[in-house]
Amino acid sequence: MTLTTFAFLVMAVVLVLSAWGVVVAKSPVRSALSLVVNFFVLAFLYFGMNYDLLGISQILVYTGLIMMLFLFCILLLNLGAPDTLFEPSLIKRSLAWFVGGVLVLAVSSQVIGPMATWSTSTPTAPEGFGQAASVGQSLFTGWVYGFEIASVLLLVGIVGSILVAKRRD
Amino acid sequence: MLSFLSAVEANSGDTIGWALLRIGIVLGVVLGIVPGLIWWERRLLSWFQDRIGPNRVGPFGLLQPIADGVKLFFKEDITPATVDRLLYFLAPAIALFPAFTIWAVLPWGPDRRLTPIADVDVGVLYILAISSLGVYGLFLGGWASNNKYSLLGGLRSAAQMVSYELAMGVALGCVILATGSLRLTEVVQQQFEPLWGTVPWMQNWFILTPWGFVAGVIFLITMVAETNRAPFDLPEAESELISGFHTEYSSMKFAVFFMGEYATMFAFSGIFAALFLGGWSPLPFNWEFLAQRATDANLPWLASALSFVGGPIAAPLWMLGKMFGGITFYIWLRATLPRLRYDQLMTLGWKYLLPIAALNFVVVAIWMQFGWAALFGALAVLFLLYINVVLYVSRRRPKDTVPKVQFANPPASTEATIEVTRS
């Protein structure tokens, strides 16, 4: 086992466990923290594929700012663990198991196929792809409209939230 | 090979041994100097406050940090009964993590084999990302303690970090825009160019350029806020929150929080030096140029002295000196400024620092693209527009401020009129 495979396996195990933790943790704060760990380790997977900029943006935006706001809201609203998490209806439970099983099958059928024929060559980005310079270049040439429209949408969101917050006369 | 490992190797053309050496140097220096910083803070604060400070243990009290460490180590390690045990123990470790990882991209000398640990392509973003992780330790400490003062401290630190992160990001954006690179080594290298592109015997330290001065001051303020130091130490405000997020922490767990704070301060001083103060160059003079001049003037001893001062052997000393100056500045601020009120903190961050940083960003962009003449033209037009708008608004304001209320039956007393109009 090479160092790369070992690092990947460690990260994969942590990723799956933390994703599991998001769902099963009873306390909302622990659930959110599992998501933080998940996002953080995901960034390392990106680093492993040479997507430095993507990985660091992942840490900066998701781990650093968005999850911080999530936690802030959870604490501000003082959300505790719900008293009961047991679903009594048998129909609902069996339906949930069925839908979940179909989802697992659908995803794994896409994943296991490529993994069976997995060669030793690890998928990495071509040289310069996904680096700051090339991403900036394409953002401000080919994708400039999409980029600007997205920023206007965000601005609308900000203005809207200010309006909602101010309407309190 | 994973890219961060291969980046380490491509960095210097050698192997994991050099990488471990780089890490070892930084860790050794940081761990060795942090106790000294604590001593320095206590002595300097005493001096500011007309006291003597710790002067009993060792010469000038220099061994006081060791005595403190021994004391903290042997103190009773209290764990309150109602804490969230896992997070309560994890929080100090999480607080220490960014304090040390942030050193990975900081160059402290010209030798690429020894520094920085990883010369990654996203260095400046790395600093922002890692420093934004710093808040988790404080936040979790505050939450896991199950104490309302600690919780308030944690909440405050979260809000403060998110607010000041933005202004810091935009201030760093100015530097990125002007250098065209995210690499810290490249940022430092560009500051060795002639000042303003015209003065050959000086270096273009960004703090000496107009835009760099604005960005530098904003970065300085936000970095004090990011490290939760006075006057931005609201998360641990002793007088209102009883030390906030670390109220429930005793013994070594408190010491770990404490060490993380000092290591982060030290790292940020280094980052400020690298980004704005010309990195490892002692003064903003072009040492090679001056040495050449000295050789021309037939003063070989002066030439060799000058190239030694600006050379690679003395470089780490100057860098350390600048970091030390940064720490002294931190202590000076703490001794001088009273703590901000919470609304003042938010007003400063959102209404002053962020708009000024954004305006500075636009200024750098116009200057980069069109030059100084266009920039002054644009600023003049903006100023005239602003004056016009201000005049216009101030002339019409008195008429429109009080809404007219029409009454079918005029109320009897004047007091009632006023009440209705106000509501």
Residues of chain B with Cβ-Cβ distance to A75 below 8 Å are 143, 151, 154-155, 158
Residues of chain A with Cβ-Cβ distance to B140 below 8 Å are 33
> Among A97-111, A120-134, B63-77, B113-127, where is mean pLDDT lowest?
A120-134
Q: Do B121 and A69 touch (CB under 8 A)?
A: no
Q: Which residue of B has its CA nearest to A47?
A: B3
Say which of B3, B133, B165 has its CB closest to residue A52: B3
Residue type (1 letter), B273 = A
Tell me what the pLDDT averaged over chain A comes to. Answer: 82
Put simply, the chain B residues between 153 and 192 with a CB less than 8 A from any chain A CB are 154-155, 158-159, 161-162, 165, 182
- Confidence band for A98, pLDDT divided at 50, 70 and 90: very high
Give A68→chain B minimum CA distance, Å. 7
Question: Do the beta carbons of residue B207 and residue B284 sit within 8 Å?
Answer: no
Assess B121–A contact: CB distance below 8 Å, yes or no.
yes
Give residue A79's pLDDT. Answer: 67
Q: Do B162 and A68 touch (CB under 8 A)?
A: yes
Reference B259, options B142, B92, B140; nearest CA is B92
Residues of chain A with Cβ-Cβ distance to B132 below 8 Å are 59-60, 63-65, 68
Give residue B401's pLDDT. Answer: 56
Residue spans of alpha helices (H) in B114-147: 123-144
In sequence order, what are the residues at sequence separation of 6 or more whose Cβ sits closer than 8 angstroms to the Cβ of residue B89? B253
Q: Do B3 and A71 touch (CB under 8 A)?
A: no
Considering only CB atoms, which residues of chain A are within 8 Å of chain B?
A: 3-4, 7, 27, 29-30, 33, 36, 47-50, 52-53, 56-57, 59-60, 63-65, 68-69, 71-72, 75-76, 124, 131-132
Q: Do B128 and A60 touch (CB under 8 A)?
A: yes
**Segment holding B195, helix H or strand E:** strand B194-195
Which of helix, strand or coil describes residue B202?
A: strand
Average pLDDT over residues A77-88: 67
Q: Do B3 and A49 touch (CB under 8 A)?
A: yes
Q: Do B121 and A131 touch (CB under 8 A)?
A: yes
Question: Do the beta carbons of residue B183 and residue B214 sit within 8 Å?
Answer: no
In sequence order, what are the residues at sequence separation of 6 or more whose Cβ sits closer than 8 angstroms to the Cβ of residue B422? none
Assess B125–A contact: CB distance below 8 Å, yes or no.
yes
What 8-state DSSP symbol labels residue B199? Answer: E
> What ipTM was predicted for this assembly?
0.77
Residues of chain A with Cβ-Cβ distance to B161 below 8 Å are 68
Cis previous bond, B116, omega within 30: yes
Residue spans of chain B under pLDDT 50: 1-5, 7-9, 11-12, 416-417, 422-423
CA angle A30, A32, A33 (to 5 degrees): 60
Give A64→chain B minimum CA distance, Å. 5
Q: How many CB pairs under 8 A join A and B?
A: 78
Domain boundaries, chain B: 82-370, 385-422
Q: Which residue of A has its CA nearest to B128?
A: A60
HSE-up (13 A, CA, CB side) for residue B73: 6
HSE-up (13 A, CA, CB side) for residue B301: 0
What 8-state DSSP symbol labels residue B117? Answer: S
Q: Which residue of A has its CA nearest to B98?
A: A64
Interface mutation vs chain A, best among B82, B122, B165, most A CBs within 10 Å = B122
Give A67→chain B minimum CA distance, Å. 10
B66 is written with which tokens? 């060791």
B98-156: pLDDT as tens digits: 888 888 888 888 877 777 888 888 888 888 888 888 888 888 888 888 888 888 888 88
Say which of B3, B120, B151 has its CB closest to residue A48: B3
Report d(CA A13, CA B2) in Å as an integer. 17
- Say whether pLDDT at A78 is over 90: no
Interface mutation vs chain B, best among A4, A46, A68, A127, most B CBs within 10 Å = A68
- Confidence band for A18, pLDDT divided at 50, 70 and 90: very high
Q: Do B122 and A132 touch (CB under 8 A)?
A: yes
Domain boundaries, chain A: 1-80, 126-169
Q: Do B158 and A48 touch (CB under 8 A)?
A: no
**Segment holding B179, helix H or strand E:** helix B148-179
Q: Do A47 and B2 touch (CB under 8 A)?
A: yes
CA angle B373, B376, B377 (to 5 degrees): 85
Q: Which residue of A has its CA nearest to B90?
A: A33
Give residue B8's pLDDT. Answer: 46
Question: Do the beta carbons of residue B267 and residue B29 sit within 8 Å?
Answer: no
Give residue B1's pLDDT. Answer: 36
Assess B19–A contact: CB distance below 8 Å, yes or no.
no
Provide the 10 A C-beta neighbour count for residue B125: 23
Residues of chain B with Cβ-Cβ distance to A131 below 8 Å are 121
CATH of domain A1-80: 1.20.120.1200
What 8-state DSSP symbol labels residue B197? Answer: T
